[in-house]
């Protein structure tokens, strides 16, 4: 019954080339400030300590192109139980995080742009672009407050008509 209908729907969308996903979420690559805070919070939550030997600024700069998941992986790789126990004798350095990051391929801007270009050609991408264009036309470049403005104008016109009759 219901399972067979669902299966037919999935098969039909696959055979037509349409995606069986209803939503695709694009999470942008984190910027410098986000990477800085991410490293800081992850290190502290993993039992690490921020020391003068740990240059978070450089770490945030060299990690451009890495996703939050990549950064989490690197922090987990460095801050093992044993390493956390050694922190009082040997403080963390940014260099310790470079090796685990180097083992991971970053997401380059070109790859991200290629994905965005591909997405814009999918049915979901086309639908999103159409909705975004309609929103911008309807708002007149505003932030969605045009409907309220219309109501206020309507009330003002009624007052104006009442004054003309007197």
Q: pTM of the full predicted structure?
A: 0.58
- Chain segment 56-101, per-residue pLDDT in tens: 999 999 999 898 999 999 999 999 999 999 999 999 999 999 999 9
How far is residue 52 from each of residues 49, 74, 155, measured CA to CA in Å? 10, 20, 64
C-alpha 163/C-alpha 144 separation (Å) is 32
Please state the rounded mean pLDDT for residues 2-26.
50
DSSP 8-state assignment for residue 90: S
Could you tell me which residue, 121 or 99, shows the higher pLDDT?
A: 99
Please state the three-class secondary structure of 148-165 as a single string.
HHHHHHHHHHHHHHHHHH
pLDDT, position 148: 47
Best CA proximity match to 60, nearest among 33, 29, 98? 33
C-alpha 36/C-alpha 63 separation (Å) is 9
DSSP 8-state assignment for residue 17: T
Please state the rounded mean pLDDT for residues 137-146.
57
């Amino acid at each position: 019954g219901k399972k067979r209908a669902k299966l037919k729907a999935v098969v039909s969308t696959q055979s037509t080339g349409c995606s069986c996903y209803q939503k695709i979420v694009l999470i942008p690559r984190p910027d410098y400030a986000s990477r800085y805070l991410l490293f800081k919070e992850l290190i502290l939550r993993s039992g690490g300590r921020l020391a003068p030997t740990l240059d978070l600024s450089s770490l945030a700069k060299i990690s451009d192109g890495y996703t939050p998941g990549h950064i989490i992986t690197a922090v987990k790789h460095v801050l093992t139980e044993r390493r956390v126990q050694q922190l009082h004798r040997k403080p963390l350095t940014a260099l310790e995080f470079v090796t685990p990051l180097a083992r991971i391929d970053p997401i380059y801007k070109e790859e991200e742009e290629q994905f965005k270009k591909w997405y814009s050609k999918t049915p979901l991408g086309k639908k999103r672009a159409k909705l975004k264009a309609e929103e911008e036309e309807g708002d007149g470049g505003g932030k969605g407050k045009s409907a309220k403005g219309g109501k206020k104008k309507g009330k003002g016109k009624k007052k104006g008509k009442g004054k003309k009759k007197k």
